[in-house]
Amino acid sequence: MRFMLLQNYGGIEGDCAPMYEWTPEEVAAHVQFQLTLNRQLEELGELIDAQGLAGPDEARYVVSDGTTPLVTDGPFPEAKELLAGYRIVEVDTPERAVEIAARISAAPGQGGAPIRQRIEVRQVMAAPDPEV
């Protein structure tokens, strides 16, 4: 079973300050935690992909009716949440995906305290067979 674990920033359950307010050492500890977790998941054969995403100031919305696409800026900085990154894991059970998400949520933040960030866990669905 494949799951996408979506890591959002904003709408934090705890009192974690935004990363731009952290010290360089706190940011480094957080990044090291993420890299170590990725390495552990790779060794277990569970990690398919993990990526951080550029900030919302570099995002674009694209809408098209099949002709020239309309491209606009967004999401806008006043948004309460933004997608910061994701992991795709392949695990035997939904419970294992939740276990991994819990570890991500407990990543160290400011002062080494767990960030308590909400992680969205969504199963990756297979496309239906077009021959049916």
Identify the CATH number of the domain in which residue 58 sits: 3.30.70.1060
- 131 within domain boundaries: no
Asked if residues 64 and 96 have their Cβ atoms less than 8 Å apart, the reply is no
* pLDDT in the model for residue 8: 81
Tens of pLDDT, residues 100-132: 999 999 999 999 999 998 899 999 998 888 887
- 66 within domain boundaries: yes
- 50 within domain boundaries: yes
Side-chain-side CA neighbours of 89 within 13 Å: the count stands at 28
Can you give the residue range of the structural domain that contains 59? 2-123
Closest CA to 89 of 74, 81, 76, 99: 99
- 91 within domain boundaries: yes
Question: Please, what is the average pLDDT of the chain?
Answer: 88
- 48 within domain boundaries: yes
Q: How many domains does the chain have?
A: 1
- 132 within domain boundaries: no
Q: What is the pTM of this model?
A: 0.84
- 130 within domain boundaries: no
- 36 within domain boundaries: yes
